[in-house]
Structure 1
Amino acid sequence: MAKQQRVVIVGGGVIGLLTAFNLAAQVEHVVLLDRSGVGQESSWAGGGIVSPLYPWRYNLAVTALAHWSQDFYPHLAQRLLAETGLDPEVHTTGLYWLDLEDEAQALAWAKREGRPLSSVDISDVERAVPVLGAGDYSRAIYMAGVANVRNPRLVKSLRAALQAMPNVTIEEHCKVEGFIQKGEKILGVKTAQGERLADHVVLAAGAWSGELLSSLGLELPVEPVKGQMIMYKCAPDFLSSMVLAKGRYAIPRRDGHILIGSTLEHEGFDKTPTQSALESLKASAVELIPALAGAEPVAHWAGLRPGSPEGIPYIGRVAGVEGLWLNCGHYRNGLVLAPASCHLFADLLLGREPIIDPRPYAPEGRI
């Protein structure tokens, strides 16, 4: 691709930010538009586990992106820290799954995929994670090397890196209202602040992507799926590992904050935190970590995931509409899959050899 190309990215979450980060050195100008503030929706609200919650239950297309990203995240964090002084805090703790119904399937998947997942005795879990209510569980599996990223800080560091690039423009509170179209070609987008022209328009608007694409008469099956979480403040060494049981998880940050999540609700675009979810999450927290029984959460919030069929994102060119691209629909795994998704996207837009087979993510035939 010629370097004089202009790219407009619609959506300033981690997917949009990292797409801009990967393209900026190769194109003339990148304009990143967000309807509110960058990274304030799903990217801010997630837990940041750098693994799908149950990786063996996913389509191989999701697994391929996850594996690449897991290996790449430490390098990305080091680069962002060096460039911006803001640490995304990729915190490697390992992850325990307790009393899995499909443990045999998980272990078979790990053997087939060459992942370091193994069965461990529950007494070993009690010794490794003494605050865990392990006496209430009988079986455990453990994957070493699984990290979590402090997603609000990842957003801040990506934003700072982009702001330091002279050919990147970030426009917040700039809602895209439609596309500028001539025949079968997209020439840019219409916003409340005026038109933004481009050689390529990238739709990376998370849960809002389907609504935007519908203005072109295209049906993209991406819908909002609400998730609520709570957070406690504990000592930095309180919880040594991530833990997952009965669909709920505990994530330790380096400074002692513990995240408990999450709900899965189909409530449209309503992201109001509810008392019922708060009580449910508190009960899960105490079940996982009995020492939290007397503690009160320091925060409770909700976000909207971009739900998609099988959680397989849409990455690539929209067939029949020249100049329009998708990088969206990551469902529960946007933070996990972002490095691979955005590298693959840049490969496709720039005409490079793709890092993995792009066919499972192609919009063609799926919308």
Structure 2
Amino acid sequence: MSDILVIGGGIIGLLTARELVQGGAAVTLVELGETGRESSWAGGGIVSPLYPWRYPDSVTALARWSQRLYPKLCADLTAETGIDPELTANGLLILDPQELEPALAWAATHGTEVQLIDSVQLHEAAPELAVRPPTAMLLPAVGNVRNPRLVKAARRALEGRIALREQEEVHAILAADGRVAGVRTSRGLIQADQVVVCTGAWTARLLDPLGQRPDIAPVRGQMLLFKGRPGQINYTTLWREHYVIPRRDGRVLVGSTLEQTGFVKEATAQGRESLQRAAVELYPHLAHTPIEAHWAGLRPGAPGGIPYIAPVPGTAGLYVNAGHYRNGIVTGPASARLVADLLLGRDPVTDPAPYALDAPRLSDGGAGASSLRSGR
């Protein structure tokens, strides 16, 4: 029997398992399908919340800690596996004029660099860009990772270090006398004295039979990938809730829609058209660039965008690390460290109180099960 059982093999589960192994625990990870193939694979990989000033300080705390760790994390994963997550610090360019005042106030509070760029400077920096507000903002330190490569590297780094069980569905969490005992899966029983649930949008379903249902629900997001050429787009660009991300090889990722469709994950023609229109408004040359792929994923939305990273009340040994909404990549390292601290009895890397299951969460701060505000 492993010391700790991790349920869910997205980036949150993989990084949680990594932190636990590095802390000396024996770990089993169970994943319904293939590791990293749900929202972790489907997202954009921006190592920042979109419009970060819209989020509570509890989300900012996780994001900033993770941002500081990312260069070392990616370097370590590359050295361990030979898979480079392609962390690229090309900056986040924001074109929405109405965001200027709150952005500058947030930046002053948190000590974040924001550069103001006039339309002439913007043309020089991004000549392909068609949208030129009088003043744009650049967060120069913001990078992005190629998230499919990140999850591949995280999985590869765990091979031989944990018991990895893919294509195995967890049907129920087992408890006795107020304590977790393990899980019942499609292949039988797995005993465990400590279990951490990292199942994203599916978390509420799994915990509901125990009388603890976190306010997490799926929010569909569709993505579009253009097969461009290197150097055509210089910055990750954000405008009117849509973003354009240039990859090192010239591919351009465009996202994303926000749709409350339950667990329906299919991509739609309407979603494709809206993303293509947004991309071409920003960068007209994309109208003549082949579209390579179009897909959808299910984000784990939670009120205020605040994840649940905490013990589950009433069931000793049971923990949850889920509900990261659009910010699983950027907050993943800190979330994994925090839940590992709680499981292993270490001093927590940040105050865990805001992430408790019964902690107050803003109803309008971020998208979640009970509230969806445009752009969050």
Q: Same fold per TM (> 0.5)?
A: yes
Matched letter for residue 315 of structure 1? I
Supply the AA of the counterpart residue of 2:244.
A
Q: Distance in 1 between matches of 2:289 and 2:23?
A: 50
Contact 1:133 1:289 in 2 (8 A): yes
2:249, 2:119 → 1: CA distance?
27
Partner of 2:254: 260
**How many angstroms does 1:73 deviate by?**
0.5
Give the residue type in structure 1 aligned to 2:270.
S
Identity rate of aligned residues, in percent?
48
1:58-93 Cα shifts (integer Å, max 9, x gaps): 000000001111111011000000111111111110
Task: Name the residue aligned to 1:155.
Answer: 151
Q: Which amino acid aligns with 1:79?
A: D
What amino acid maps onto 2:118 in structure 1?
D
> Corresponding residue for 1:222?
216
Counterpart Cα distance in 1 of 2:205 and 2:150:
27
**Which of residues 133, 138, 142 in structure 1 aligns to 2:134?**
138
CA distance in 1, matches of 2:236, 2:189: 46
Equivalences for residues 51-90 of structure 1 within 5 A = 51-90=48-87
Q: Which amino acid aligns with 1:117?
A: V
d(CA) in 2 for partners of 1:298 and 1:126? 28
Q: What does residue 95 of structure 2 align with? A: 98
The answer as to 2:5 corresponding to 1:8 is yes
Shift of 1:296: 3.0
Q: Secondary structure at the match of 1:148?
A: coil
Give secondary structure in 2 for the equivalent of 1:147. Answer: coil
Measure, in 2, the Cα distance between the counterparts of 1:100 and 1:281.
Answer: 21
Deviation at 1:235, TM superposition (A): 1.3
Give the equivalent residue in structure 2 for 1:240. Answer: 234
Which one of the candidate residues 268, 287, 310 is aligned to 2:281?
287
- For 1:28 and 1:91, the matched residues in 2 are separated by 32
Alpha-carbon shift at residue 204 of structure 1 (Å): 0.3
Q: Name the CA shift for 1:195/1:11 in 2 (closer, same or farther; >3 Å).
A: same
- CA drift of 1:297 comes to 1.1
Alpha-carbon shift at residue 366 of structure 1 (Å): 6.0
Distance 2:183 2:226 in 1: 42
CA-based RMSD of the aligned residues comes to 1.4
Which blocks of at least 5 consecutive residues in structure 2 are unaligned? 362-376
Equivalents in 2 of 1:126, 1:271: separation in Å?
38
Question: What's the CA shift for 1:145?
Answer: 1.3
Q: Is 1:112 matched with 2:106?
A: no
Question: Are the aligned partners of 2:115 and 2:140 in contact in 1 as well (CA < 8 Å)?
Answer: no
For residue 338 of structure 1, give the secondary structure of its aligned residue in structure 2.
helix
Structure-2 separation of matches of 1:86 and 1:102: 37
CA distance, structure 1, for counterparts of residue 2 and residue 24 of structure 2: 5
d(CA) in 2 for partners of 1:133, 1:164: 50
**Does the 8 Å CA contact 2:212/2:313 hold for their aligned counterparts?**
no
TM-score normalised to the size of structure 1? 0.96
Pick from 5, 27, 30 the counterpart of residue 27 of structure 2. 30
- Matched residue type, 1:147: G
Q: Distance in 1 between matches of 2:65 and 2:160?
A: 27
Cα separation, 2, equivalents of 1:13 and 1:186: 22
The equivalent of 2:307 in structure 1 is 313
Change over 3 Å in CA distance of 1:68–1:156 after alignment to 2? same
- Counterpart CA distance in 1 for 2:25 and 2:139 is 43
